[in-house]
Structure 1
């Protein structure tokens, strides 16, 4: 008897879960509320739409944990990574994509799959029967969030997330700005010139910080007390922590030389990254903001080179929800109180596109195994995916649980390696070598017989 897997949410996690299950021979119904029901951040009804940055971050699979996660997803035949690779933009050592074609390719792949059916409409309850994965992300609809809270007996935790503005390239003054990746990183000339840079001297930087601190900002409604995720702080919040914070963060000037004034060292640099293949759109890197729209245009136009900037999208802030996974989920990502339901993606408390998709991949694989009557253990915690799922399903402290990006701090130490910065390169290489071997071993063990 054929059993269908229902997946709620067509973002990174839901799309990846559907792809993994369908390719293993499972019939999948993917439920997506957009475009019938919209959200603050989404602009289309496409599956896999990117709502914040267009970057999957570092693609270095030997020295970076997120790059390792890329490697593991590629090894598992991941849809999200395949679509990212086919829509890649120059971004130095990062993996950035042309966001609209990327989402279209995710949508086209799933729509064309004979075992995937996409149904548009809002799911407002947790079904008591059948196999389900809830992958609704941090923008879970109010009705479903209420149903989750009622069923689990615990209110969803929350934090505020911000998005950065996007600028039209032809409105940027290139007599002041220039193209260069930090430290000229990249194998090709296109990669070495993947970022657009706007320099500031000390007076300009100080004036920018003053304008930033004085600008009108979006205020939270009464009763909204959630904090921010540290990996996506609004620039105003960073500036409030100290006037030099931005200059040592997203506006650091190191590794860059202004060809217009090569003898002058910039005090700070604002970087923009290409947002589409045509090169007509650039997003301001690290400039998530909660400033009101009018204030954004005024403040950002004080940046040298952006005096006449036109914006394709201004920044914004929205409330994200996630569950307390260490108390609610078992190591198969199932709801302890209702094991026919799994959770995946950012709603579980992982942070980032890649981490979200990775948890969708695992949930899809685990649900497939259950439907097919096999027993699959979670991947080893020595792998990037194993480290993440171990963290959210019991490794983290439940009382202080907050969204987490993948990082080597989640991995068990490699025996025989000394710590400290001097040994970090060897240590990270040891982590990734071990992870790749263990991940491939896990994939081999759960392979479906031909």
Structure 2
């Protein structure tokens, strides 16, 4: 029933097995839905302090929260926020891609061939890696130098800095992407994914970057098929802000310092549209139950919602970093669905069982709440 997910599907762009969206269409749908809702009043003014807002309140200001409001939050929590760098990949005009040198396919033949694949052989690959390493980068300011990168959006420069082969086992992996003519894998592959609903723009998958603008166009035009690429948007990095949620928030996503001040979205330490939507749905249910005097909803640890909530409110880590939903968040699988000890090492089967277990527990939660 989430209208956010419905909007995502309405803004869908082909992306293989991933849910890709046209961000402009997605934003427009949500803006119109909120503006047209009879129970929502939009007040277009800046909030610079938590003292400005009445309680109860849900704060969902995102990772780019303004400095005055961030300062107010830091004063409220009695400590500094955490920061991480988020990087953005370049976007290319689809008409400028040389389709004679590339082909459409999804890895291992899955999906509907939504990706454009740009092959590299060994000599070009290592030359490309050298150029990435040698390219001029945007240097962080002094106060940003100790800010870490989010592992899920690591810039290509940081990836290749870990070793010349690292990219071939990550964003440039050729596995499951053979040449159509020979059925042989290239040495490396750069993938392009549709970036808007009209199919006029493509982004370079996994190529978030902190290279200087001029260096990006020079280096990325080495990629076969992109020799004459027109860049609609160049990559960049920006500093994101998030709360140290395991220390600062309760399990219902309210502040430990104020039970009627709730938080949702990326500022809670989740990463991604879907994860942000999950926290928004959960916090609305928590607040509704609290206002109604009802029992607080419980999200089973074995479900995606429950695992994400546990990761950002209960799992104590020395270095808390933003996380998206992944199989590592779920509790270990010790038995199969019949209660028998699970000893298999089949990763695919293990993931299927984790998903089935999550669905079963989610149904119980839904049944209980209804």
Instruction: Calculate the TM-score normalised by the size of structure 2.
Output: 0.94
1:416 maps to 2:326: no
Aligned to 2:35: 111
**In 2 relative to 1, CA 239–379 (structure 1 residues): closer, same or farther, beyond 3 Å?**
same
C-alpha distance in 2, partners of 1:125/1:319? 21
Q: Which moved more, 1:406-415 or 1:327-336?
A: 406-415
1:351 maps to 2:274: no
The Cα of 1:421 is off from its aligned counterpart by 7.1
The partner residue of 2:199 within 258, 266, 279 is 279
Q: How does 1:90-239 map to 2 (within 5 A)?
A: 90-127=14-51, 129-186=54-111, 191=112, 193-224=113-144, 225-239=146-160
Aligned to 2:164: 243
**In 2 relative to 1, CA 426–265 (structure 1 residues): closer, same or farther, beyond 3 Å?**
closer
C-alpha distance in 2, partners of 1:339/1:119? 24
* Residues 119, 189 of structure 2: 8 Å contact kept: yes
SS of the residue 1:340 aligns to: strand
The partner residue of 1:385 within 287, 296, 305 is 305
C-alpha distance in 1, partners of 2:284/2:231? 38
C-alpha distance in 1, partners of 2:229/2:332? 48
C-alpha distance in 2, partners of 1:114/1:277? 29
C-alpha distance in 2, partners of 1:364/1:446? 14
Show structure 1 runs of 4+ deviating over 4 A.
417-421
SS of the residue 1:282 aligns to: strand
Task: Spell out, residue by residue over 1:232-253, the C-alpha distance to the aligned partner (whole angstroms, 9 max, x if none).
Answer: 1000000000001111110111
Aligned to 1:425: 348
1:402 maps to 2:287: no
Give me the CA root mean square deviation: 1.7
Structure 2 segments unaligned to the other structure (5+ residues) = none
C-alpha distance in 2, partners of 1:421/1:99? 41
C-alpha distance in 2, partners of 1:268/1:415? 37
C-alpha distance in 2, partners of 1:221/1:155? 18
The Cα of 1:444 is off from its aligned counterpart by 3.3
* Residues 376, 446 of structure 1: 8 Å contact kept: no
The Cα of 1:319 is off from its aligned counterpart by 0.4
Aligned to 1:32: none
C-alpha distance in 1, partners of 2:258/2:349? 44
C-alpha distance in 2, partners of 1:393/1:310? 44
* Residues 173, 189 of structure 2: 8 Å contact kept: yes
SS of the residue 1:379 aligns to: coil
Q: Which moved more, 1:426-435 or 1:246-255?
A: 426-435
SS of the residue 1:270 aligns to: strand
Task: Spell out, residue by residue over 1:388-430, the C-alpha distance to the aligned partner (whole angstroms, 9 max, x if none).
Answer: 1112111232x32111121222222344246677333333222
Report the count of equivalent residues: 364
The Cα of 1:101 is off from its aligned counterpart by 1.4
1:83 maps to 2:7: yes
C-alpha distance in 1, partners of 2:310/2:297? 12
